Amino acid sequence: MAQEKHHQIVIIGGGTGGIMTAAQLLRKRKSLDIAIIEPSDKHYYQPAWTLVGAGTYSWEKTIRPEASVMPKQVTWIKDYATAIEPDENYVDTQSSGKITYDYLVAAPGIQIDLDGIEGLKEAMGTHNVCSNYVDPNYTWELLQEFKGGNAIFTQPTTPIKCGGAPQKIMYLFADYVRKNNMADKTNILFATPGSVIFGVEEFANTLLQVVDRYNISLKLFSAPVKIDGPNRKVYFKHMGDSAEQSKTTSPDGNRFEENMVEEGLVEMPYDFLHLAPPQSAPDFVKHSKIAHQEGPSKGWINVNINTLKHNEYDNVFALGDAAALPTAKTGAAIRKQAPVLVENLLHTIDNDKKFNEGYSGYSSCPLVTGYGKMLLAEFDYENKPMSDPLLKRLMNIFKEHWRMWILKKYGLPYLYWNMMMKGRM
Ligand SMILES: Cc1cc2nc3c(=O)[nH]c(=O)nc-3n(C[C@H](O)[C@H](O)[C@H](O)COP(=O)(O)OP(=O)(O)OC[C@H]3O[C@@H](n4cnc5c(N)ncnc54)[C@H](O)[C@@H]3O)c2cc1C
């Protein structure tokens, strides 16, 4: 039988949020006893997966050994957390037994739910169905094999990590098709259950110009609900009040065949299908008391959206994709969440009753709009643009720019591995 182990601070997840938190805590206070529960021996820089899917970044460069990012003073429990018992201050694990704690930081990321769409699990990775969320190498393989036809890009009804990723790969695809003289025989469609292409109006206006430039068709209020891989068909359910709202709109007239299978359900043939699959908080989080038990945030970790401290358990904190924070789930958001969480955790340890309420929902989405072009959308809980003052001085932040592409492809990965993972920013 595995023995019970105790640590002052237990962090679940050694991904972006878990490592940033541990590194920043130790920079502030070397004496802390921190354990990270993390099963994987690889750490992934997921933001570059968009570029991998478009053949402009190497997959290998997005992976480093987990041991290389794990701060030296941390005890690494190489295992899966399987349950959280906040009333008894312990985390259960698959094979290391119960790990008890004084303070818990939950950063286990998000779960990809391939069974959330009928036929998706069977079709993914075959039948011209790909996802940068699952295997960006396959996206690139399919892109190179593409010879024209219908290319469909979708967004699910659930929250997802990096809400812009489903359209970034589409713009790269469109640019690739154009550069390879296939634009005339290609129909590109973006389908989303939402009512707009992007939540922040100023950036959405620029994206609509990009959509026009690539002659992309839009299908709003439409959620993918079924995939028939062998027959290369995808089914969309109307999400709006009327079928009219889900109608496909194209800059030069609708070139997509749409078959109404039944009221509110249409079938479309595809030759290339990219999905952002449905996503949710990991099951062991959903089933624990630290998750919201009811309401629209059900299943996500119930933290105060400004302090990142749990709303019911004073010794529990959370950040990153699994936390119920009404902003875009990105690594960039975590960069602003981690210092607030760290400060509040140290205040709690010191019992000094102070609180930093400073996290205002900052997130950012590097919207790659072609090879060599990017629009950096930075915003807060109120969907107000919140751009870096220095960047604002250097360029018009509402426009695409090649400098932003350089930032995405070279600057941000450098900052991630050398600064963020080391707790330096
Ligand atoms: C295609 C794509 C494009 C993206 N683009 C961008 C971008 O351009 N900019 C940006 O800022 N962000 C982007 N993101 C999002 C970003 O990668 C995530 O928001 C960020 O990594 C979330 O950090 P996290 O710590 O919450 O989760 P993760 O970094 O995913 O880490 C979660 C960790 O928990 C571990 N874990 C899982 N289950 C358990 C368990 N049971 N027990 C213990 N540990 C467990 C995992 O192994 C993992 O190491 C993108 C993501 C994808 C997939």
On whether residue 410 sits in a domain, the answer given is no
Last residue of a domain, one of 302, 328, 360: 360
CB 48 less than 6 A from any atom of ligand 1: no
Query: pLDDT tens, 88-143?
Result: 999 999 999 999 999 999 999 999 999 999 999 999 999 999 999 999 999 999 99
For residue 82, is pLDDT > 70?
A: yes
pLDDT score of 20 more than 60: yes
Biggest CA pair distance of the chain: 67
pLDDT digits (tens, 9 = 90+) for 383-404: 999 888 878 888 888 999 999 9
Atom of ligand 1 nearest to the CA of 14: 49
- Quote the pTM value: 0.97
Report the number of distinct structural domains present in the chain.
Answer: 2
The average pLDDT across 237-253 equals 86
Question: Which of 46, 139, 407, 421 should be mutated for ligand 1, with most atoms under 8 A from CB?
Answer: 46
CA-based R_g, the chain, Å: 22
Q: Where are the beta strands (DSSP E) in 94-221?
A: 98-106, 111-112, 129-130, 149-154, 186-191, 216-219
Query: For residue 230, what are its two tokens?
Result: 């062998």
**Is residue 83 a contact partner of residue 92, using CB atoms and an 8 Å limit?**
yes
Q: Please tell me the predicted confidence (pLDDT) of residue 172.
A: 98
Identity of the residue numbered 191: A
Q: What is the mean pLDDT of the chain?
A: 96
Tell me the C-alpha distance between 22 and 38, whole Å.
13
Identify the domain containing residue 87 by its residue range.
5-110+281-360
Asked if 118 and 204 sit in the same domain, the reply is yes
CA of 247 to the centre of ligand 1 (A): 34
Task: Report the separation in Å between the CA atom of 44 and the middle of ligand 1, taken as the mean of its atom positions.
Answer: 8
130: annotated active-site residue: no
For the chain, how many helices (H) and strands (E)?
A: 12, 22
Query: Atom of ligand 1 at shortest distance to CA of 331?
Result: 11
Of 360, 385, 407, the domain-final residue:
360
**Do 215 and 304 lie in a common domain?**
no
pLDDT at 304: 98
Identify the band that residue 1 occupies on the pLDDT scale cut at 50, 70 and 90.
very low
What's the pLDDT score for residue 394? 81
Give the burial string for 190-224 (b: 16+ CB within 10 Å, else e): bbbbeeebbbbeebeebbeebbebbbbbbbbbbbb
Q: Is residue 12 in contact with ligand 1, taking CB distance under 6 Å?
A: yes
Residue 42: HSE in the Cβ half-sphere, 13 Å Cα cutoff: 8
Residue 314, classed as helix, strand or coil, is: coil
Q: In this structure, which residue's CA is closest to atom 13 in ligand 1?
A: 47
Q: Which of 117, 162, 218, 340 is catalytic?
A: 162
pLDDT digits (tens, 9 = 90+) for 248-277: 888 877 678 889 999 999 999 999 999 999
Residue 258 domain-assigned (yes or no): yes
Region of residue 97 (phi > 0: left; psi between -120 and 50: alpha; otherwise: beta): left
pLDDT for 3 equals 56
Q: Choose the final residue of a domain: 278, 310, 331.
A: 278
Q: Is 373 in the pocket of ligand 1 (CB under 6 A)?
A: no
**Same-domain status, 171 and 267:** yes
Share of the chain above pLDDT 90, in %: 91
Q: Looking at the structure, do residues 233 and 301 belong to the same domain, yes or no? A: no
Pick the residue whose CA is nearest to atom 5 on ligand 1: 47
Which CATH number characterizes residue 29's domain?
3.50.50.60
Q: Does 297 sit in the ligand 1 pocket, CB within 6 Å?
A: no
pLDDT band per the 50, 70, 90 thresholds, residue 45: very high
Q: DSSP letters of 240-309? A: SSSGGGG--B-TT------EEEETTEEEEE-SEEEE---EES-HHHHTSTTB--SSTTTTSB-B-TTT-B
Report the distance separating Cα 174 and Cα 211, nearest Å. Answer: 10
Decide if 421 is inside a domain: no
Task: Tell me how far the alpha carbon of residue 334 lies from the centroid of ligand 1, in angstroms.
Answer: 10
**Nearest atom in ligand 1 to 15's CA:** 31
| 162 catalytic per annotation | yes
Q: What is the pLDDT of residues 160-193, one digit of tens each?
A: 999 999 999 999 999 999 999 999 999 999 999 9
Q: Please state the rounded mean pLDDT for residues 39-43.
A: 98
Cβ neighbours for 301, distance < 8 A, ≥ 6 positions apart: 106, 281, 285, 290, 291, 292, 310, 318, 322, 323, 324
Co-location of 39 and 146 in the same domain:
no
104 and 172 part of one domain:
no
380 within some domain: no
Q: What's the gap in Å between 365 CA and the centre of ligand 1? A: 14
CA of 152 to the centre of ligand 1 (A): 25
Taking the centre of ligand 1 as the mean of its atom positions, its distance from the CA of residue 330, in whole angstroms, is 8
Indicate if 160 and 219 belong to the same structural domain. Answer: yes
Q: In this structure, is residue 417 part of a structural domain?
A: no
Residue 370 has pLDDT above 60, yes or no: yes
Which of 106, 120, 285, 365 is labelled catalytic? Answer: 365
Report whether pLDDT(314) > 60.
Answer: yes
Token pair for 349: 């340890």
| Close Cβ partners of 55 (under 8 Å, ≥ 6 residues apart) | 140, 143, 144, 176
Ligand 1, from 12, 16, 409: best to mutate by most atoms within 8 Å of Cβ? 16
